[in-house]
Amino acid sequence: MSSDIIKDVRSLLEFHGKPKKEVYLDSENSGLIFPEALEALIEAYKNTGYGHPSITHKIGWESYEKLYESSSILANVLNCNLEEIVYTHNGTEANNLAILGLAESYKERKKILVSSIEHLSVIFPADYLQKYGYKVIKIPVDKEGFVNIDFINENIDKNTLLVSIAAVNHEIGTIQDLKTIVDVIKDKDSEIFVHTDACDALGKIKMDLRKLNIDLASFSSHKVYGPKGAGALYVKEGIKLEPIIYGQLSTQRLWPSLENIPSIIGFSKAIEILNSNFEYYTLKMINLRDMLIKNIIEEIEYVLLNGPEGNKRSPDNANLSFLYCEGEALTVELSLNGIYVSSGSACTSRVLEPSHVLLAIGRKYEEAHGSLLMKVTPFHNEEDIEYVIEKMPGIISRIRSISPIKPGGEKNV
C-alpha cells in the first residue's frame, strides 16, 4: 500500500461524495453484520471473551467457556460434534487446510477432482499440489453450473484422494445436489474423501452434515452476516489432517495461535439468528432476488441471467450479464448513484480477468466482462430493490452510449 494510492483514493472519495440513498449489494466480498452479532463481539472485548482460552486464570477460563458455547451452537446447527470443528480466520484458510492438510496425511493417493467453478481458495491449493505429483481434474459443469455427475463417476478411481464441490456456488448461486454426488462417490469407493466449500450454503440452505455424509466442510463468518475474522472447518471424526501452519498451540491442534474469540462469538450469534429465522429470511431474500432479476430483465434489453432460476438458485444471488457494457465501468457508475455491487468474479475483479465461473458455464469473454454480481440480504427491503430497478436502465444506457461496441456489432463513434 503506497501513499500515492492513498492520495488517489482520498481524491476519489471526495469527488464521489455521499449519495442521498445507498444500497449495498456486495456481501459476496464483505458486508453487513447482524446488530446482535456486533453487540456480542463488543461485549466479548469489553467483558467476557477477550482473554486467551488456554491460559489458567479467570479471564482465560471465561474465554474457554465462551468458545465452548459458540462451538455448541455451530455443532447443533450443522448436526456434528464439537470436536469436529476447527476454527480458522476465514473460509479461505479452511479450504486450504482441508485440501493441503488432507494431502499431507494421505500420500498414497494422488488424484484430486474439483469442480471447474470452485472458489479460487479451492482451485489454487489443489493446483499447487501438482508440483508434488498430484493429478488435478476439473469437473465440467452445464450452462447453469451443475456438475456433471457421470464425469465424476467415470473419473474417480483407486488413486483418487479427494473430490471438492461447493454446495452453493459463490458467484452464480447454483445449489448442487450434494447428497447424490456424495452417494455416487462413496458407492464407488468409500475411501475417497469429499469436501464442500459451504461458505455460501450456511444460512441459505439447510445443512445437515450427518445426513450428507460429507467428510470436510468449510464455513465463513462474514457470509452469514457475522464479523470478519472467523471461519471454521468441519472434519469428520476419524479423518486425519496435518497442520499447514505451525506455532504456539492454543485449544486446537490444526490451527495454531490464539483463536479470535470475540469474532467466533459474533459468528455463532449470527448463525443462531439465521437458524432461528431460516424460513422467514430465505423467503424474504427469494422475493427480493426475484423482484430484482425479473424487473431488470423486463426493463433492459440484452441482459442474460447467469446461473439457474427458482429453487435451484441460492436465495440471495442475482448475477446478470449486461451485453455491450464493461463491468468495471458499471460498478463505478452504480457507485456514483449509491448502488454497490461487484463485477465478474468478486475475487478476480481487481486483475480485470473474466470470471472463470462464467467462462465455465459457456459465457463468452465479452458476456463475462459485462456481468454484475448482486446479493440481497435479510437487511434489504422492497424500497431498496425498487431504487436499484429505477436507476439501472439509465445507468446501463449511459455506459452503452460510450461503449466501443453497440448492438448489431457496430462500433460507436
- Residue numbers annotated as active site: 347
3-state DSSP call for residue 384? helix
Residues 6+ apart with CB under 8 A from 317: 172, 173, 289, 307, 373, 375
Nearest to 167 by CA among 144, 195, 140, 201: 201
Residue 407 cell numbers, joined: 448492438
Distance, CA of 27 to CA of 47 (rounded, Å):
29
Stated as kind and residue range, the H or E segment containing 43 is: helix 35-46
User: How far is the C-alpha of 232 from the C-alpha of 219, rounded, in Å?
Assistant: 5
Q: How far apart are CA 141 and CA 362, in angstroms?
A: 9
86 with 216: CB under 8 angstroms? no
Do the bridges between strand 317-322 and strand 371-375 make them parallel or antiparallel, or are there none, so unpaired?
A: antiparallel
Rounded CA-CA distance 30/96 in Å is 20
DSSP 3-state assignment of 342? strand
Cell of 362: 459457456
Is the separation of the CB atoms in 346 and 373 below 8 Å? Answer: yes
Closest CA to 201 of 177, 183, 184, 227: 177
Specify the amino acid at residue 231: G
Q: Are β-strands 342-343 and 371-375 bridged in parallel, bridged antiparallel, or unpaired?
A: antiparallel
Residue 404 to residue 349: CA distance in whole angstroms? 21
The answer to whether the beta carbons of residues 85 and 71 sit under 8 Å apart is yes
Which amino acid appears at position 17 of this protein?
Answer: G
What residue has cell string 474417480?
A: 156
Q: Angle at the Cα of 342 (from 337 to 347), degrees rounded to 5?
A: 155
* Three-state DSSP class for residue 297: helix
